[in-house]
Chains A and B, each alone.
Chain A
Amino acid sequence: MTFDEGQGYAVLATLAAPLAAALVILFIPGSQKMAIRLVSAVFGAVMLGLSIYLFVAYQSGADSEVIQMTLRWTWVENVSFLGEEGITLYLAMDGITALMVLLTGIVSFSAALTAWKLDYRPKEFFILYWILVTGVYGTFFSFDLFFLFFFYELAVVPLYLLIGMWGSTRKEYGALKLTLMLVGGSVGIWIAIFGIVDAAGLGTFDMVQLAEAGQNGTISRNTQILLFPFAVVGFGVLAAMWPFHTWSPDGHMSAPTAVSMVPAGVLMKLGAFGIIRVGIQILPAGAEFWMPVVLVLGVIGALYGAIGALTQRDFKLVSGYSSVSHMGYVLIGLATLSYIGVTGAVLQMFSHGVMTALVFLLIGALYDQTHSRDINAYGGIAKVMPLWVIAYVIAGLANVGLPGLSGFTAEFHIFVGAFQTYPIVGGLAILAAALAAAYMLRMFAIVFFGPFNPRWKDLKDVTPLEAFSGALLIGSVVIMGVWWAPFIDRLAPTITALPGVTG
């Protein structure tokens, strides 16, 4: 057991908090709905506090360590095929984790608040919800391949029941499709893990040691080229990589609001995160070989998602497709394997997380009143729901990449990175951004400012609770748009240290 200035315990506490929430709720009778909601809100706030603390405490100086706040507990060692420190609960943070943890804290808290009004079996809902959040935190913190995958699966599985029991619109279909596609993706990840651990021959799942083995050639170049596609397709499904994106629109359409917020806001980032952790860090030679293919898939995803969003009439489908498009940018950024491109990709993961969560929160607020998500059924609702419209416009403009909002910061980095290495791709990516403007403005025009549809004259504006969680998300969008230094400072040492990433 080794500790790093005691801050490892903060990491453990952050991971344990959602699990504790689930356990506490397990022992509250299902009829005590208010108590369940309060417990969830309090735990959510604690997690947000811890996440902010971790983000701030992560040191970003030029000479600071990449991996900080380490906590290691030996789990199984010296047995069967496992050697010394075979599997350890190795929790720590690097710069990418710092951003992702902050994102998780913000999104999971505001989603928990959004689920406040849920009335159908809230006990089961919140238990599953906090298990899912445990999985998300755990994946981000894990530096042990076994636990990375353990938590990754843990984050995916509750979705079946969350969507199947509390969803709407073809929920069974959406839930089954989403679960099968995501768990199907895990097949690739399992195979990659078996291959990596076997080829490294160290008898350990420690990712730092495995990354070393990947870089110094213990895992041969051919093996890396063989295994990389398994890992990237596996994680790519969750990152909505074209052509494995089809769960995303259907799943989001069926999911209840709070659940849409978390998969779109955080879960999809797990996929991209996995590509960095396993694809780039452990299999650098494979990454070098395959990244052009990932780049092409990213570009197709970005364009395809944007065009898809342009043609949809359902609010959630528009956002579902635009998520595909934005995750396409993330893949483009990663595939450049350049410092600025990868930085942009991670920034985009954060930015897309908060703004998509905001979008789904707002859609949920509207849908709860009207039970219609058909864009054409609305018109001129800026008159009755001004706050709602303002928030949506902010989210939409961040989506488009308006300077001053988070989307701009991220996309700018990605475009610069893409132009440096692949100019044509850079051009196509900007085309996708232009399409984003088209689908967003189209929606604004029809829904917010078109001729007022008197059917909606009784609509109420956002509730205080929704306003509060919305403000939290808008705050993050704006802060990252105007003051991105804290984000980039924390990323710099980590991304410079990534193997194969050029200045």
Chain B
Amino acid sequence: MRDYTMFIPEYIAAGSALLVLAVELARPGIGKDKIAYLTFLGAVVWGVSGLFYLGNTPGNFMDILRTDDFTTYFRLLAAAIVAVTALLSAQYMQHRTKTAGEYYGLLLTAGVGMVLMAASRELLTAYISLELLSFSLYVLVGFHKRDKLSSEASLKYVLLGAFSSAMFLYGISLIYGATGTTYYEGIANVLAGRSSDTDLGVIVGIMLIIAGVGFKVSAIPFHMWAPDAYEGAPMPITAFLSTASKAAGFALILRLFTGAFAVDPTEWRVVIAVIAAATMTGGNLLAIQQTNLKRLIAYSSIGQVGYMLVVVAAIGYGTAEVGQAASSALLLHIIGYVAATLALFAALIAVYNRTGDDTIRGLRGLSERSPFLAMVIACCLFSFAGLPFFAGFTTKLFMFQASTSSALLWLVGLAVLNSFISLYYYLMIMRQMYLYDAAPNSKLKMNPLLGTVAGLLLIGVLFIGIFPGPAFEAVDGAAEALFEVSAIAVTGGE
């Protein structure tokens, strides 16, 4: 059935994108921060309209797109990330660009791409949604045209992105060749009904698709672009990359691996487990050596991706029940991770706007120069490291506990060991901020907007850490919706 009412919120988002472009064309002299606030407004309306879909009968667009609670979850998340990123950009981009309309418009289309990735239940649609997000980001990463670092980052991102898209497409064509369909349900049915061993073409196809989405979420060994892109991109876009882009990747992965490939987990689960292990270990070990904050965060977020991949491995190793429990814990974890990352960037951008220094040493003595920002940064880092009171502790514990089974205890153990390693480099940042004295007369005046954003997000991080019940119940519904159409749930696992 063609139900065009399923995506009203996305029409609003895309409409806002056109609106900000039009506003700038009509009134070129308008303050660039006004466009940011307009974008914020558009994203808020987008998010609020998304709320009406909560708990509704799932919408189904010809089995290609599905709007259930799982999609709604990512819809709200995308709207929230775009809204916050717009606010983070307001001061940062004010004097750095003359074409703010394009910047904010692309931000909104990237968000739409993210929602469609979560809604897709067909390989080509998933691919196109992925490209919608990617193309928006290619431009955004290189938005400082005259900055060599930014252009280099964008070029690297585009080239490697094109390469990974090619792999993804080749994977799709192999799967299509073997199963004769690109619908998730159809693929699962063909794989379930096969008489002999799995076709080699399907296995190679799955591996190529893993490589494609692995690039998107920057899992090792497909992570090479991430540190350069993070470093070169405008700082709010770095925040967007490490939240929206990763969350969208996981939306696609969850749909795909609980849908199309769920009946055949033995073919891919070992690979995912190994990639998870390599990603978390590599990311954290490489992060230790960084001196630039953005690069450090890039590697640290690679490490975080490793933890999240543990859940995907658990879906492969466990029954539908385990998979659903682990997925819902992952969705909770993503909320906490996104909130902490955005709060961290709000604080870092507030510092950067004043100092123009994005090295770790630039934070020296921050606890005296701006106690509030130092506290926000410290709390976010502690949340990443998984220390109590912050979201990271609770959600990581849930996520790992839900993924634990005797077959995966080694991976969970490795994940915990890695969060311990990460504490080391977080403490190095803490040391700069708290143990060293500031240079005299270096007090920072904080932008009140960024301060408010950081403070509110931090409250969110604390709320999830201390009182996760309501959020957990909400995401549990989203995971349930995901598994309602999951092939494992239908065939009963293994």
Enumerate chain A residues within 8 angstroms of B388, measured Cβ to Cβ: 135, 150-151, 153-154, 157
Enumerate chain B residues within 8 angstroms of A149, measured Cβ to Cβ: 397
Enumerate chain A residues within 8 angstroms of B324, measured Cβ to Cβ: 80
B319-352 vs A, Cβ < 8 Å mask (1 yes, 0 no): 0001011101100000000000000000000000
Instruction: Establish whether residues B430 and A160, one from each chain, have CB atoms under 8 Å apart when the complex forms.
Output: yes
Instruction: Establish whether residues B329 and A187, one from each chain, have CB atoms under 8 Å apart when the complex forms.
Output: no
Instruction: Answer whether residue B401 sits at the interface, using C-beta atoms and an 8 A cutoff.
Output: yes
Q: Kindly provide the distance from the CB of A121 to the nearest chain B CB, expressed in whole angstroms.
A: 9
CB-nearest residue of chain A relative to B474?
Answer: A79
Instruction: Answer whether residue B435 sits at the interface, using C-beta atoms and an 8 A cutoff.
Output: yes
**Which of chain A's residues 134-188 have a Cβ closer than 8 Å to chain B?**
135, 146, 149-151, 153-154, 157, 160-161, 164-165, 172, 176, 179-180, 183-184, 186-187
Given A81-B325, A81-B329, A194-B409: A157 in contact with B387 (beta carbons within 8 A): yes
Enumerate chain A residues within 8 angstroms of B398, measured Cβ to Cβ: 80-81
By size class, the interface of chain A is: 20 to 34
Enumerate chain A residues within 8 angstroms of B417, measured Cβ to Cβ: 187
Instruction: Answer whether residue A368 sits at the interface, using C-beta atoms and an 8 A cutoff.
Output: no
Instruction: Establish whether residues B469 and A179, one from each chain, have CB atoms under 8 Å apart when the complex forms.
Output: no
The docked-state distance in angstroms from the alpha carbon of A184 to that of B431 is 19
Instruction: Establish whether residues A76 and B382, one from each chain, have CB atoms under 8 Å apart when the complex forms.
Output: no
Q: Kindly provide the distance from the CB of A315 to the nearest chain B CB, expressed in whole angstroms.
A: 25
Instruction: Answer whether residue A27 sits at the interface, using C-beta atoms and an 8 A cutoff.
Output: no
The docked-state distance in angstroms from the alpha carbon of A80 to that of B404 is 13
Q: Kindly provide the distance from the CB of B472 to the nearest chain A CB, expressed in whole angstroms.
A: 5
Enumerate chain A residues within 8 angstroms of B412, measured Cβ to Cβ: 191, 194
Instruction: Establish whether residues A179 and B409, one from each chain, have CB atoms under 8 Å apart when the complex forms.
Output: no
The docked-state distance in angstroms from the alpha carbon of A193 to that of B404 is 10
Q: Kindly provide the distance from the CB of A181 to the nearest chain B CB, expressed in whole angstroms.
A: 10
Q: Kindly provide the distance from the CB of A172 to the nearest chain B CB, expressed in whole angstroms.
A: 6
Given A190-B416, A194-B412: A164 in contact with B434 (beta carbons within 8 A): yes
Q: Kindly provide the distance from the CB of B474 to the nearest chain A CB, expressed in whole angstroms.
A: 10
Instruction: Establish whether residues B382 and A195, one from each chain, have CB atoms under 8 Å apart when the complex forms.
Output: no
Instruction: Answer whether residue B413 sits at the interface, using C-beta atoms and an 8 A cutoff.
Output: yes
Instruction: Establish whether residues B409 and A195, one from each chain, have CB atoms under 8 Å apart when the complex forms.
Output: yes
Q: Kindly provide the distance from the CB of A183 to the nearest chain B CB, expressed in whole angstroms.
A: 6
Instruction: Answer whether residue B18 sits at the interface, using C-beta atoms and an 8 A cutoff.
Output: no
Residue with the highest number of chain A CB atoms closer than 10 Å, among B388, B409, B412:
B388
The docked-state distance in angstroms from the alpha carbon of A79 to that of B475 is 9
Instruction: Establish whether residues A161 and B430, one from each chain, have CB atoms under 8 Å apart when the complex forms.
Output: yes
B454-494 vs A, Cβ < 8 Å mask (1 yes, 0 no): 00000000000000110011001001000000000000000
The docked-state distance in angstroms from the alpha carbon of A279 to that of B435 is 37
B329 touches which of A80, A161, A164 (Cβ 8 Å): A80
Enumerate chain B residues within 8 angstroms of A462, measured Cβ to Cβ: none
The docked-state distance in angstroms from the alpha carbon of A79 to that of B401 is 13
**Which of chain B's residues 326-383 have a Cβ closer than 8 Å to chain A?**
326, 328-329, 382
Instruction: Answer whether residue A197 sits at the interface, using C-beta atoms and an 8 A cutoff.
Output: yes
Enumerate chain B residues within 8 angstroms of A75, measured Cβ to Cβ: 469
Enumerate chain A residues within 8 angstroms of B413, measured Cβ to Cβ: 187, 191, 194
Enumerate chain A residues within 8 angstroms of B404, measured Cβ to Cβ: 194-195, 197-198
Instruction: Establish whether residues A198 and B424, one from each chain, have CB atoms under 8 Å apart when the complex forms.
Output: no
Enumerate chain B residues within 8 angstroms of A187, measured Cβ to Cβ: 413, 416-417, 420
The docked-state distance in angstroms from the alpha carbon of A76 to that of B469 is 5
Given A79-B473, A154-B388, A157-B387: A176 in contact with B427 (beta carbons within 8 A): yes
Enumerate chain B residues within 8 angstroms of A160, measured Cβ to Cβ: 427, 430
Q: How many A-B residue pairs have CB under 8 A?
A: 94
Instruction: Establish whether residues B431 and A172, one from each chain, have CB atoms under 8 Å apart when the complex forms.
Output: yes
Enumerate chain A residues within 8 angstroms of B401, measured Cβ to Cβ: 81, 193-194, 197-198
Instruction: Answer whether residue B400 sits at the interface, using C-beta atoms and an 8 A cutoff.
Output: yes
Instruction: Establish whether residues A190 and B400, one from each chain, have CB atoms under 8 Å apart when the complex forms.
Output: yes
Enumerate chain B residues within 8 angstroms of A81, measured Cβ to Cβ: 322, 325-326, 329, 398, 401-402
CB-nearest residue of chain A relative to B331?
Answer: A80
A164 touches which of B322, B435, B473 (Cβ 8 Å): B435
Enumerate chain B residues within 8 angstroms of A180, measured Cβ to Cβ: 420, 423-424, 427
Q: Kindly provide the distance from the CB of A32 to the nearest chain B CB, expressed in whole angstroms.
A: 16
A72-89 vs B, Cβ < 8 Å mask (1 yes, 0 no): 000110011100000000
Instruction: Establish whether residues B430 and A198, one from each chain, have CB atoms under 8 Å apart when the complex forms.
Output: no
Instruction: Establish whether residues B420 and A79, one from each chain, have CB atoms under 8 Å apart when the complex forms.
Output: no
Given A190-B400, A194-B412: A79 in contact with B472 (beta carbons within 8 A): yes
Enumerate chain A residues within 8 angstroms of B329, measured Cβ to Cβ: 80-81
The docked-state distance in angstroms from the alpha carbon of A87 to that of B430 is 32
B420 touches which of A76, A186, A198 (Cβ 8 Å): A186
Enumerate chain A residues within 8 angstroms of B431, measured Cβ to Cβ: 164, 172, 176
Instruction: Answer whether residue B393 sits at the interface, using C-beta atoms and an 8 A cutoff.
Output: yes
Instruction: Establish whether residues B435 and A79, one from each chain, have CB atoms under 8 Å apart when the complex forms.
Output: no
Given A150-B393, A151-B388, A190-B400: A80 in contact with B472 (beta carbons within 8 A): yes
The docked-state distance in angstroms from the alpha carbon of A180 to that of B426 is 11
Q: Kindly provide the distance from the CB of B247 to the nearest chain A CB, expressed in whole angstroms.
A: 19
The docked-state distance in angstroms from the alpha carbon of A75 to that of B322 is 21
The docked-state distance in angstroms from the alpha carbon of A15 to that of B425 is 32
Q: Kindly provide the distance from the CB of B468 to the nearest chain A CB, expressed in whole angstroms.
A: 6
Q: Kindly provide the distance from the CB of B376 to the nearest chain A CB, expressed in whole angstroms.
A: 15
Instruction: Establish whether residues A146 and B397, one from each chain, have CB atoms under 8 Å apart when the complex forms.
Output: yes
Q: Kindly provide the distance from the CB of A190 to the nearest chain B CB, expressed in whole angstroms.
A: 4
Q: Kindly provide the distance from the CB of B312 to the nearest chain A CB, expressed in whole angstroms.
A: 16
The docked-state distance in angstroms from the alpha carbon of A357 to that of B435 is 26
The docked-state distance in angstroms from the alpha carbon of A135 to that of B404 is 27
Given A80-B398, A164-B434, A198-B401: A184 in contact with B420 (beta carbons within 8 A): yes
Enumerate chain A residues within 8 angstroms of B382, measured Cβ to Cβ: 157
Enumerate chain B residues within 8 angstroms of A80, measured Cβ to Cβ: 324-326, 328-329, 398, 402, 472, 476, 479
The docked-state distance in angstroms from the alpha carbon of A154 to that of B409 is 25
Enumerate chain B residues within 8 angstroms of A157, measured Cβ to Cβ: 382, 387-388
Q: Kindly provide the distance from the CB of B92 to the nearest chain A CB, expressed in whole angstroms.
A: 30
A352-389 vs B, Cβ < 8 Å mask (1 yes, 0 no): 00000000000000000000000000000000000000
**Which of chain A's residues 29-64 have a Cβ closer than 8 Å to chain B?**
none
Instruction: Establish whether residues A79 and B328, one from each chain, have CB atoms under 8 Å apart when the complex forms.
Output: yes
Q: Kindly provide the distance from the CB of B393 to the nearest chain A CB, expressed in whole angstroms.
A: 7
The docked-state distance in angstroms from the alpha carbon of A153 to that of B420 is 12
Enumerate chain A residues within 8 angstroms of B325, measured Cβ to Cβ: 80-81
Enumerate chain A residues within 8 angstroms of B189, measured Cβ to Cβ: none
The docked-state distance in angstroms from the alpha carbon of A190 to that of B398 is 11
The docked-state distance in angstroms from the alpha carbon of A199 to that of B401 is 11
Enumerate chain B residues within 8 angstroms of A79, measured Cβ to Cβ: 328, 469, 472-473, 476
Enumerate chain B residues within 8 angstroms of A198, measured Cβ to Cβ: 401, 404-406, 409
A216-255 vs B, Cβ < 8 Å mask (1 yes, 0 no): 0000000000000000000000000000000000000000
The docked-state distance in angstroms from the alpha carbon of A172 to that of B326 is 39
Enumerate chain B residues within 8 angstroms of A146, measured Cβ to Cβ: 397
Q: Kindly provide the distance from the CB of B395 to the nearest chain A CB, expressed in whole angstroms.
A: 11
CB-nearest residue of chain B relative to A171?
Answer: B435
Instruction: Establish whether residues B427 and A172, one from each chain, have CB atoms under 8 Å apart when the complex forms.
Output: no
Q: Kindly provide the distance from the CB of B311 to the nearest chain A CB, expressed in whole angstroms.
A: 11
Instruction: Establish whether residues B476 and A161, one from each chain, have CB atoms under 8 Å apart when the complex forms.
Output: no
CB-nearest residue of chain A relative to B378?
Answer: A161
Spell out B's residues near A (CB within 8 Å).
Answer: 322, 324-326, 328-329, 382, 387-389, 393, 397-398, 400-402, 404-406, 409, 412-413, 416-417, 420, 423-424, 427, 430-431, 434-435, 468-469, 472-473, 476, 479
Supply 7 further A-B pairs (C-beta < 8 A) apart from A135-B388, A179-B427: A80-B324, A160-B430, A183-B423, A187-B420, A191-B409, A191-B416, A193-B401
Spell out A's residues near B (CB within 8 Å).
Answer: 75-76, 79-81, 135, 146, 149-151, 153-154, 157, 160-161, 164-165, 172, 176, 179-180, 183-184, 186-187, 190-191, 193-195, 197-199
Can you list 14 pairs linking A and B with CB atoms under 8 Å apart?
A: A80-B476, A81-B322, A81-B329, A146-B397, A154-B388, A172-B431, A172-B435, A183-B420, A186-B420, A187-B413, A190-B400, A194-B401, A195-B409, A197-B401
Interchain residue pairs A-B with the least CB separation, the first 10 = A81-B325, A190-B416, A194-B404, A198-B404, A80-B325, A80-B328, A81-B402, A150-B388, A191-B413, A154-B388
